[in-house]
Structure 1
């Protein structure tokens, strides 16, 4: 549900095309060459997409949190580099790049003639401004969560601590050349240069602390990017309109408009069938229960591939103090342990009590897979050879709890804690995702079958849920959430590092942090085999200490009307080169 990295997408420049002049006989008596000529891209037309939860309203790439905002930003904003189907970095707003010998500097050469939606020219100063804003001392307190992109840069600590007004990490050499400088040799500098760029001329007069509430971060017509479409209109929580950017640097998009509608997940398939909706993709696509229905529709194409993310049952191991929440601080030294689930064996018992295979079969209709690691299977680093595999074993769950002294002392069917006190586990989940809404009571039932008293609370709308999750309401124990993972690198620090904003479990394990740091430490980490071994150890540790149980990774089921042409999906998104999308019935 929550997007970690917003990736601007592009084709592999070396991808070959069939010869358009090739002619072969077809059943209609004509030639394939003639048929292709009739199917040349047309300009015009409107495309309608659907998502089942409304964006929270943050359309500034350095501050957005949810996948619903990403559905807008994927079309309006871009990065210096993007990725191809093999997850290799390819040119974006930067046309080429080079690193120095010791991998401490990355110099990128920018495309010239790129304009923002308001006609201003895109330059290296915009890149510097973006990263300087993320490094700003007020960024985290204002709600920013993307500091992972600036932490390795030269001078970050001095700048964020207010010791200097100069940020050395990103430097404009000239209008079309920018250099990223790292404090230490960096094994993957393009990853840190892959963040979405915002315009300096729009935000330069707005303090970082005030950016999230500024109209330039929220209002149609004032949200300015370099992407193929402009965000021009909205009926909040109902409809969001994108219009083509005629001055787009890769060529004027074929489509005139893309309209996003917010609709209930239960009616999405019907709207797709009737033609009122043309495509359903991120964050969760069509419901697995509707797969066969959609497949039977003669005018709908389905893209099915492993998801680049997963659903979790998170364990709130620690809570922040009220003072830290108010100040925006993430200070592990102040965290208060959640004694109800502090022992990792309790978390392991809960994991054994949950029938993950049953959830996949019953809710996903088999279109998903169990993961025992929080690293995506598509990455070379995925390795569950030494992780704990929590198969459904309620007897094991009960045995663990018995050994810990959690037994039913008053014959009410629920276990008390070792001191004989009532032991109630609070569980929270958001609305919007039908699979998650259906999972919550099933998980409650599974846990109660082994004697765990679960207080399943009323679900909240996603934006309110994320706010409470971030602020660490002190009585949270279990929570449901989904992650759309970044595709640039398997480094899990952004989710599971102790001080990571997305570490909602408030997992504080020094060994985990040490392993994640080792996997990025040059020169050893220049060797992928070395990193793979380190991540193997980290995945084993994660599965044992268990800050969250990975419930499942469902298959991505993206669907679109066959009036839409030019779709070439990537492993992590359907929104690849949307300026080349076109509709056959354009007039």
Structure 2
């Protein structure tokens, strides 16, 4: 189960298939399709399973997957998906994302002593037969915190473990706050904090890493060479139900049953992940090329009548967004630094861009209601943490023009100029996707041109997936704003996406108010649920007003599953539980 935050991409996951807004069918059709999706089950029917068989899974992307088989180093959803048959989390969860004791390890919080004790179960073994140990738990933190690995997972939240910051800065060769009371080969690791946080009982909280790394297998690989090593790229060790047995780099991965799996032999013999382009997705489903495949929502009408297929669905913890670059990442100080003179630093400019977007029309119409606009950066799935009073940036060209006029962005001919009278040219970076990605982005450019903003694509075209994130991560000066997406963690705190010390804060915005609110929602006071909810609402209102990041849409994630498959589920407690999946007798 993957609980850590990952990049997804606009236009490359199933929910992200878009098209140009225009006249067409009535909204009643859209509503009906959304109602249909809401009635889809989250589970395949439970039936008697036969042993063996090969399950084929589609990985829908127009780019090769990078194949970094390490949770500590991987950053893309594709790598996470491909690794999922082997890459099991330390902890199992319930359907509310609360950590329980049913997984490979147990966890105990001690608020009096500010410690978290993680204990591996005896018999949880790496695929080479070695027991997973306390050192493996600790070593994962070393990989993340050692600067030589250049891991994007090191955040100010993880750095609340005592000694992790000193290790990261090279002041210490060990992490003082991770205790192994029975020694490195024991089963227990105790994490020491200054204070515990209210979200720590939930998976994805950002303060506790939920994976281990095989120290005995990786210890001789220099940290700086770890990401490119064969141990990570070709022959990774996992303690999950399957072992990577064959890899066609960037294209396919074949997983075979792990004979050392602690829960017993999985039902399937093999799981094969195979890359297929988004354009080919619907045809692949109709021709039964795969046993499990994402439905591209814009192609729903093409596949909905397919025989011998069952559709399962859920609304994932996800949102796409428009981000504005207002600073850079300082690698020496491990923090985001705002540029006071950033082109996109004016709040009015960002707000106007948001109001000029016809987001709801585009997604609802062209995915038949299977995709929908989201108003805030906290999804509705988080219950009362979601502030339903915020309506988001709804389409309003008049308001957009008024905001720009008032802020001094006057028109000089066709285009508006900056308040200082200088020309204003804005570069948008958007990612390649399905064949309809180009027209959807052109649609947004047209909307912005209507309010006099000279916005065009970086390089004059959509950007390839891997190049896109390389430019975003490294703050390429050619990028003023960008469209991307998050797969969210299952604890609602947004701190490790938007804090000053968060590498994933890709817009690089840092303000005292943002820091204050993020600290308050994860403070000791926030153990009081009512207080924490209030702070979440304050933060959402603040982010809506500041518009450094404008949320765009979420969607039903619909999967087409061979009706002879059983044990497959989209419920949080069962997601990626590959050991339960098999074919019907």
What CA deviation, in whole Å up to 9, does each residue of 1:176-198 have, x standing for no partner?
22212112233333443352211
Q: Does 1:548 align with 2:541?
A: no
Secondary structure of 1:87 counterpart: coil
The one of 247, 253, 269 aligned to 2:266: 253
**Does the CA contact (< 8 Å) of 2:335 and 2:500 recur in 1?**
no
Q: Does 1:469 align with 2:482?
A: no
Counting only pairs closer than 5 Å after superposition, residues 61-72 of structure 1 correspond to structure 2 as 61-72=71-82
Secondary structure of 2:189 counterpart: strand
**CA distance in 2: counterparts of 1:519 and 1:420, whole angstroms:** 41
* Alignment correspondent of 1:279: 292
**Does the CA contact (< 8 Å) of 1:294 and 1:300 recur in 2?**
no
Change (3 A) 1:316 1:434: farther
Deviation of the 1:465 alpha carbon: 0.9
**Does the CA contact (< 8 Å) of 2:161 and 2:177 recur in 1?**
yes
**Does the CA contact (< 8 Å) of 1:314 and 1:548 recur in 2?**
yes
**CA distance in 2: counterparts of 1:76 and 1:443, whole angstroms:** 40
**CA distance in 1: counterparts of 2:188 and 2:325, whole angstroms:** 45
Deviation of the 1:496 alpha carbon: 1.1
The one of 197, 217, 224 aligned to 1:202: 217
**Does the CA contact (< 8 Å) of 2:60 and 2:278 recur in 1?**
yes
Secondary structure of 1:178 counterpart: strand
Counting only pairs closer than 5 Å after superposition, residues 60-139 of structure 1 correspond to structure 2 as 60-91=70-101, 93-102=103-112, 104-139=114-149
What CA deviation, in whole Å up to 9, does each residue of 1:13-33 have, x standing for no partner?
xxxxxxxxxxxxxxxxxxxxx
**Does the CA contact (< 8 Å) of 1:351 and 1:549 recur in 2?**
yes
* Alignment correspondent of 2:39: none
Counting only pairs closer than 5 Å after superposition, residues 38-53 of structure 1 correspond to structure 2 as 40-53=48-61
Secondary structure of 1:378 counterpart: helix
Change (3 A) 1:311 1:185: closer
Q: Does 1:316 align with 2:328?
A: no
Instruction: Flag structure 1 segments of 5+ consecutive residues without an equivalent.
Output: 7-35
**CA distance in 1: counterparts of 2:112 and 2:399, whole angstroms:** 52
The one of 127, 144, 155 aligned to 2:163: 155
**CA distance in 2: counterparts of 1:257 and 1:533, whole angstroms:** 48
Change (3 A) 1:359 1:330: farther
Secondary structure of 1:361 counterpart: helix
What CA deviation, in whole Å up to 9, does each residue of 1:473-499 have, x standing for no partner?
112111110111111x11101111122
Q: Does 1:514 align with 2:525?
A: no
**CA distance in 1: counterparts of 2:430 and 2:77, whole angstroms:** 17
Deviation of the 1:430 alpha carbon: 1.4
What CA deviation, in whole Å up to 9, does each residue of 1:170-226 have, x standing for no partner?
22222122212112233333443352211111111223222112111111xx21110
Deviation of the 1:397 alpha carbon: 0.5
Q: Does 1:503 align with 2:518?
A: no
Root-mean-square deviation (CA, aligned residues, Å) is 2.4
* Alignment correspondent of 1:390: 393
* Alignment correspondent of 2:42: none
* Alignment correspondent of 2:362: 359
Deviation of the 1:161 alpha carbon: 2.4
* Alignment correspondent of 1:491: 493
Change (3 A) 1:574 1:556: farther
Q: Does 1:166 align with 2:204?
A: no
**Does the CA contact (< 8 Å) of 1:52 and 1:432 recur in 2?**
no
Deviation of the 1:549 alpha carbon: 1.1
**CA distance in 2: counterparts of 1:75 and 1:148, whole angstroms:** 30
* Alignment correspondent of 1:560: 561
Secondary structure of 2:410 counterpart: coil
* Alignment correspondent of 1:33: none
What CA deviation, in whole Å up to 9, does each residue of 1:135-171 have, x standing for no partner?
33434xx243343562121222222223322312222
Change (3 A) 1:68 1:422: same
The one of 404, 407, 426 aligned to 2:410: 407
Deviation of the 1:70 alpha carbon: 0.4
**CA distance in 2: counterparts of 1:376 and 1:180, whole angstroms:** 30
**CA distance in 2: counterparts of 1:509 and 1:260, whole angstroms:** 43
- In the alignment of these two chains, the number of paired residues is 535
